Structure 1
Amino acid sequence: MPAAFAPFRHPAFRMLWWANLAANIGLWVQNTGAGWMMTSLDPSPVMVSLVQAASMLPVFLLALPAGALADIIDRRVYLIGAQAWVLSMAALLAVLTWAGVLGPWGLLVLTFCIGMGNALNFPAWAATTPELVPREDLVQAIALNGIGFNLSRAVGPAIGGFAIAMAGTEAAFALNAVCFLVLLLALVFWKREAPRSALPPEHFLGAMRAGLRFVAASPAMRATILRACVFFFFTAAVWGMLPLVVRGRLGLGPEAYGIMLGVMGVGAVATGFAMPALRTRLPTRSAMVTAFSLVSAAALALLGVSGHWLPAAVSMLLFGAGWLGAASTLQAAAQFATPAWVRARAIGIYQLCFFGAMTLGAVLWGWAGASLGIQPALLAAAGAAVACAILVRGWPLDSQPATEAPAVPMPRPEAPDESLRDALAGDSGRVLEVVRYTVDPADREAFLAAMREARRVRLRSGALAWRLLEDVAHPERWIELWAVESWTEHLREAGRLDAADRAVLARAAGFQSGDAAPEAARYLAVLP
């Protein structure tokens, strides 16, 4: 099997990929039908634009909550629930349209409800991909997901237009419901082995806070989000100004606009199939994103100077290639940077950031096009995209291989006293964890460097706060303190540490003088 199709070797990925393709086609059919219907219910530009806003607003409202729910609920059950919600809302939309009782605000409300289901689905679906394929196939699996999305964007509106012409907008809405039924059935037949834990599920608000703390303490996730925001902010100029280029500069109609979007899809699909070969020439994810960012910037510049449809079409072909290559590589970097316990939450935050950057970019570059002119705005976006792509290339997206942990005695606190076991059950209140070190003063700087890494490990694994204190009378004595929300959260910490985290903590413990391990203790908060 060619490398581009390697993820299809895995039956679960293959089944869900085809089902998700059907659902994405249904989504574009739904968007086409909703936009067209609004032109007859209330043809004002504001109401028509609100249809798109109603479908996208839930992403901003629900990205983090959706990620938290996807991490604390069985992911298969959660996805089935999200698809069932979309299916029910799509069916209700079709029935009300067929009955002729749906008004413009009712259309917006149901469009928003369908958008809610899709927003709930996004982080969970992205976090599911690593469960379907082995690590070596993950990047290409994400690229194939991008190919599927671009295929659906190419054929979905056409299918929607055909359905509307043949049987009315209610047929388009009913077709959307059928497409989501396909995905729902595929999820029902998916035999997922859910991870088992002796601990109770995380609380909803606590899970969201843990996700935020993880991202804040993860250099790899921060780099991925930064580079995604930079890429999507500048490339959003295409979405804000392509209609103006087609109508104003090229003097063409809506058919040409659709063709330009189709050409972009061709570039994206071709790049998705070429990704395995491209990775042999650009072996790091950082280099891939930089290269594709420069390709996208070149597309922006070419679109800006185009006065004929042919160079404009070439620019959209290049833009589709750059968009798919950078987006899929960034998505893979986010996947590799997150462990399973927090993956959906972290990806939800990632999606929230890049959707925000893309939306802000489309608005600002559209305003720049209206104020400065289309050509100057596109050329400015291209130049700024090149400069920023070069500036941020030093933020690495490739995780460093875990070094072997030194064989040193690790701190192990005493077991809780029997008299306090009941107090530790459930929501016990905050727990303060303490590790005391005795370090040769000559190793002070090296110890501090190791503890900076230890701080990030503690915060990523659930610490609310962390401190390192030095004894002013005995500079060889140090105390590491960190607090967690409850005894249950303390017990979760060990399960959240991977091999790289344990190696970091072992290097810190290795500075302990003598043969004994650093002394560890745990304290339960009693009075506020």
Structure 2
Amino acid sequence: LWGGTLSGLRFAWHSRMILAQLVRVMAFSAAGSALWALLPVIAQRLGTGAPGFGLLMGCLGTGAVAVGLVLGRLRARFGMEVIVGAGGIVFGAAMLVAALTKITAVVYIAMLFAGAAWMSAMSTFNTATQASAPQWVRSRAVAMHMVAALGAFAMGSAFWGAASDILGLTPTLCVAAALMSVGLLLARPMPLRMGALHEVTQATPWDELFIEAEPLPEAGPVAVEVGYRIAPGTDAAFLDTISRMKAPRRRDGATFWRVYKDLGEPSRYVERFIVESWADYLHQRARATMADQALETEVRAFLAPGEVVRMSHYIAER
């Protein structure tokens, strides 16, 4: 269980798609939790009591259900970033309406739009996560998504409740709306996208294992060295390409990765990575995707004529 948890966390940390989705959903959920946490206070300020609070919740749910009927078509037409961006803007505007007006009908209408915006964004985050993880880690990716979304929601709710007690309802909702807008700026460094088919489809291992005796599954750590003798004059391009191997190696199980140059033979490079056990190494080989193999093909294109990749495996002696 612990090993499986660590492999899921390692995958998320070294997968730009999954990491971006987790950070974005945390930012959205933490800022948006202010409205949900302070909804009873909003109802109290409107003077509607328990029936009014129930109606506010009903408006949020109605908006969510209504947009759910057309969300798939909207996402296909406009794309994920537009849906999430519009959802953040609309939800932030709804918080401002709840903060700045006491007209009951206007607040109810704002809650309809807020429910639609919340459902649109959160459903898009969830879809992106499920579609961006290979089969072996998909359930763990969904679990991390739930922890990120609900964890940020829980901590955000506590924070906004305490802030409202100190600052008051109106300033707190205004700050939350501002943070929701700021969170949308994450779209540039951490864009959302769904994984392409070749990025989530597992591939057959490239090289056969040539070892004298199969180690025990728990034996390790295991060091793997992949030797490349490249064509003269291609060093810079080769290093630039092979550096992209770091993320998939680390993502699929390696705890260490580095490229070395042979001082005695400048055209020879060695890629070296370490995994915790023999079982982890076999898992790593099985987790490679078609996109990873395409990247390896690019790396092998730099080999000198007649040369082949040479792999060596080493296991720690205890």
For residues 490-509 of structure 1, the aligned pairs below 5 Å read: 490-509=281-300
SS in 1 for 2:258: strand
**Residues in 2 aligned to 1:480 and 1:332: alpha-carbon distance in whole angstroms:** 35
**Residues in 2 aligned to 1:278 and 1:324: alpha-carbon distance in whole angstroms:** 13
Aligned with 2:101 (options 306, 327, 344): 306
TM-score with structure 1 length normalisation?
0.56
**Residues in 1 aligned to 2:210 and 2:217: alpha-carbon distance in whole angstroms:** 17
**Residues in 2 aligned to 1:441 and 1:361: alpha-carbon distance in whole angstroms:** 56
- The match for 1:349 is 144
Cα drift, residue 325 of structure 1: 0.4
Instruction: Pick closer, same or farther for the CA change 1:343–1:449 going to 2, 3 Å.
Output: same
Q: Which structure's relative contact order is higher, taking Cα pairs within 8 Å and 6+ residues apart? A: 2
Cα drift, residue 391 of structure 1: 3.8
**Residues in 2 aligned to 1:237 and 1:488: alpha-carbon distance in whole angstroms:** 45
Cα drift, residue 492 of structure 1: 2.2
For residues 82-161 of structure 1, the aligned pairs below 5 Å read: none
Instruction: Pick closer, same or farther for the CA change 1:290–1:500 going to 2, 3 Å.
Output: same
Count the aligned residue pairs. 313
Give yes or no for the alignment of 1:337 onto 2:132.
yes
Cα drift, residue 402 of structure 1: 6.7
Instruction: Pick closer, same or farther for the CA change 1:513–1:236 going to 2, 3 Å.
Output: same
Percentage of pairs with the same residue: 31
Cα drift, residue 358 of structure 1: 1.2
- The match for 1:67 is none
TM-score with structure 2 length normalisation?
0.91
**Residues in 1 aligned to 2:295 and 2:264: alpha-carbon distance in whole angstroms:** 28
Is the contact made by 1:457 and 1:501 (CA closer than 8 Å) also made in structure 2? yes
SS in 1 for 2:207: coil
- The match for 1:485 is 276
- The match for 1:293 is 88
Is the contact made by 2:32 and 2:91 (CA closer than 8 Å) also made in structure 1? yes
Give yes or no for the alignment of 1:456 onto 2:247.
yes
Is the contact made by 1:435 and 1:480 (CA closer than 8 Å) also made in structure 2? yes
Cα distance per residue 1:366-398 (max 9 Å; x no partner): 222222221121112112211221343442221
Cα drift, residue 470 of structure 1: 2.2
Which runs of 5 or more structure 1 residues have no equivalent in the other structure? Answer: 1-203, 405-409
AA in 1 matched with 2:301: G
Greater fraction helix: 1
Aligned with 2:308 (options 498, 513, 517): 517
Cα drift, residue 463 of structure 1: 1.5
**Residues in 1 aligned to 2:217 and 2:288: alpha-carbon distance in whole angstroms:** 22
**Residues in 2 aligned to 1:515 and 1:286: alpha-carbon distance in whole angstroms:** 47
**RMSD of aligned Cα (Å):** 2.1
Is the contact made by 1:289 and 1:325 (CA closer than 8 Å) also made in structure 2? yes
Is the contact made by 1:288 and 1:326 (CA closer than 8 Å) also made in structure 2? yes
Is the contact made by 1:267 and 1:319 (CA closer than 8 Å) also made in structure 2? yes
Give yes or no for the alignment of 1:266 onto 2:62.
yes
Is the contact made by 2:17 and 2:195 (CA closer than 8 Å) also made in structure 1? no
Give yes or no for the alignment of 1:223 onto 2:20.
yes
**Residues in 2 aligned to 1:310 and 1:378: alpha-carbon distance in whole angstroms:** 19
Q: Which stretch of the first structure deviates more once superposed, 353-362 or 221-230?
A: 353-362
Instruction: Pick closer, same or farther for the CA change 1:400–1:269 going to 2, 3 Å.
Output: closer
Cα drift, residue 441 of structure 1: 5.9
Is the contact made by 2:131 and 2:195 (CA closer than 8 Å) also made in structure 1? no
Instruction: Pick closer, same or farther for the CA change 1:403–1:359 going to 2, 3 Å.
Output: closer
**Residues in 1 aligned to 2:176 and 2:190: alpha-carbon distance in whole angstroms:** 21
- The match for 1:466 is 257
- The match for 1:378 is 173
- The match for 1:368 is 163
Instruction: Pick closer, same or farther for the CA change 1:300–1:443 going to 2, 3 Å.
Output: farther
For residues 435-454 of structure 1, the aligned pairs below 5 Å read: 435-440=226-231, 442-454=233-245
Is the contact made by 1:403 and 1:503 (CA closer than 8 Å) also made in structure 2? no
AA in 2 matched with 1:242: L
Is the contact made by 1:413 and 1:519 (CA closer than 8 Å) also made in structure 2? no
- The match for 1:433 is 224
**Residues in 1 aligned to 2:230 and 2:82: alpha-carbon distance in whole angstroms:** 41
Cα distance per residue 1:407-466 (max 9 Å; x no partner): xxx97365211xx33xx1332222211101123463333323322321111122221221
- The match for 1:83 is none
AA in 2 matched with 1:412: D
Instruction: Pick closer, same or farther for the CA change 1:433–1:250 going to 2, 3 Å.
Output: same
